[in-house]
Structures are given as structure tokens and as C-alpha cells.
Amino acid sequence: MGHFAKFSLFFPLKKKSSKTSLSRSWTVSVMQPPRIVSQLPRLLPVLEGGSVRMTCAAEGIPSPETRWLGGEGGGPQLALDRVGTEVNGTELVCRASNEHGSQERAVKIIVVR
């Protein structure tokens, strides 16, 4: 579902013997591919045993679906608890998509001891 704007245009038509006018309305759909608006770092240092919370948010028309690829959950909210060295170097990807395209932004986890 997009945002709709209704425009009315007026076209005067003149004939030799009479003044006639014609009016016509159109509905215009305004669409926009997704654009991620979350401020996400490229590299995210996390203390070993610590937690990570991030949100994948985007704008677009129609409203894009947002989700994290990797990690737990798979929706727009990412939660990692008790981060261990096994996730060091892992890239988590924020992905936004609608029928007009998609955009991705990766965050690389760096586990700090």
C-alpha cells in the first residue's frame, strides 16, 4: 500500500460558438525504495560476556519490512546475550525491503577480552 495524492486538473476547452470546460481527476501513487535510517557502526566492539541490542529501522513507501540476518530473532530487533569469542568477526546484516527494492547494512562484531 502506497501513499496516494489526488490531483485535480482543469482544462478549459473553447469552441467557436460556446464556452465548454473539461475537468478530470487522477490518483497518483508515490512509491519509494527502502532507506535504512538506523545509525549502525561498521565495526562493533563488544566485551566478552556482554550483550548487544540493535534496531534495524528503515523508511520507504510502502513501509519496508526490516530484519536482521544472522544473530537471534530475525526481526527488526537484534539481541545477543553473553557474547563469546565464537561470534568474533561475525557480520550481522540489517536488511530492509519492499516491492521497489532493498538495502542492506552490515555490522561486524569484534569481541574484546
pLDDT tens sequence across 36-82: 999 999 999 999 999 999 999 999 999 999 999 987 667 999 999 99
pTM: 0.74
Residue 89 is part of a domain; what is its CATH number? 2.60.40.10
Single-letter amino acid code for the residue at 62: P
What is the count of structural domains for the chain? Answer: 1
**Domain encompassing residue 80:** 32-112
Is 2's pLDDT higher than 80? Answer: no
* Residue 95 is assigned to a structural domain of this protein: yes
Establish if 89 belongs to a structural domain.
yes
Beta bridge partners, 94, equal 68, 105
Strand ranges (DSSP E) for 1-113?
A: 3-14, 19-30, 32-36, 43-47, 52-55, 58-61, 65-69, 77-80, 91-98, 101-112
59 falls within a domain: yes
Query: Is the residue at 26 inside a domain?
Result: no
Is 69 among the domain residues?
yes
